[in-house]
Structure 1
């Protein structure tokens, strides 16, 4: 594996570690708690960041999403279409996620992480410059798309960790 892809694996490893550290030990009430009327709860944040990673990496690898292929969609039993990732969700849709079991969230994230790392192990450094989306100006390369997923996921796992801190310190 090339140093560039090793860095990407390290970034996704850090996301997985933070997801586990943030979710482990939480009660269902904490998973579903909203610290403000429109705030996203930990469960939704982790579900969303995992759905984004699953959706984007599946598209890049030209494969089915873990969400549908491994029937995580059925295990969660959400009132959303299978292709939903959380982008554009209203406050009511965020609330509809409820409080998924912490182990379910961690399990789904781990399954997506394993597929992500497997995909990253197969790309070559030259692949990172390949244009994967020409709807943007400038066109989006594979490397840029992967970094955007890392950025999105780190932002949301940081938000989830912050909410955990608020809840555990009696401020939520």
Structure 2
């Protein structure tokens, strides 16, 4: 298996993992908190999509799915077009209110775009530096692994929160 094939497999797991955690939840369950300062499933799902969308599009020179697909208008959130949720307060988290279908639709579109990006790459592309702001500079391969790892960590948080809600 080559590097791009490994990344395609990794990225193809994000959407289904998120779907298992979100599908069938009510609006109340999507915005419930296990603690007053905790992230909600709605926010975590939105954040997974935004983080992946912003970082993959920036690294590969493509337009964000958020704006290209009109998701910014569908969600109608009070955040800027580059906002991924990083540094959000509990009040910010509470503003992310959307149906499971809307949340999963966005995550799926982002996954489709990411997989499309990957099919256009060769293994040699993974060594290209995409971010000089770090020491050492970040390669495309490192960025893509980091984005997927972050998304799957947040998907695990969704599963945890869902489990906690089901125990109530």
Q: TM-score, normalised on structure 1?
A: 0.95
Pairing of 1:31-42 with structure 2 (within 5 A): 31-42=30-41
2:11 is matched with 12
1:66 is matched with 65
Whether 1:151 aligns to 2:143 is: no
Moved over 4 A (4+): none
- Write the distance in 1 (CA, Å) between the matches of 2:73 and 2:25: 23
Q: What is the aligned counterpart of 1:118 among 109, 116, 124? A: 116
2:162 is matched with 164
Q: What is the aligned counterpart of 1:109 among 107, 128, 139? A: 107
CA RMSD of aligned residues (A): 1.0
Q: Which runs of 5+ in 2 are unaligned?
A: none
Alpha-carbon offset, residue 82 of structure 1: 2.0
- Write the distance in 1 (CA, Å) between the matches of 2:95 and 2:24: 22
- Write the distance in 2 (CA, Å) between the matches of 1:168 and 1:11: 28
- After superposition, give the CA deviation of every residue in 1:17-40 in whole Å (9 maximum; x if it has no partner): 111111100011010011101100
The number of equivalent residue pairs is: 168
- Write the distance in 1 (CA, Å) between the matches of 2:128 and 2:70: 31
- After superposition, give the CA deviation of every residue in 1:16-75 in whole Å (9 maximum; x if it has no partner): 111111110001101001110110000000100110000011112211101011110000
- Write the distance in 2 (CA, Å) between the matches of 1:3 and 1:25: 36
- Write the distance in 2 (CA, Å) between the matches of 1:31 and 1:155: 18
Alpha-carbon offset, residue 96 of structure 1: 1.4
- After superposition, give the CA deviation of every residue in 1:131-151 in whole Å (9 maximum; x if it has no partner): 111111111000000011011
Pairing of 1:11-90 with structure 2 (within 5 A): 11-90=10-89
Secondary structure (helix, strand or coil) at the match of 1:132 reads strand
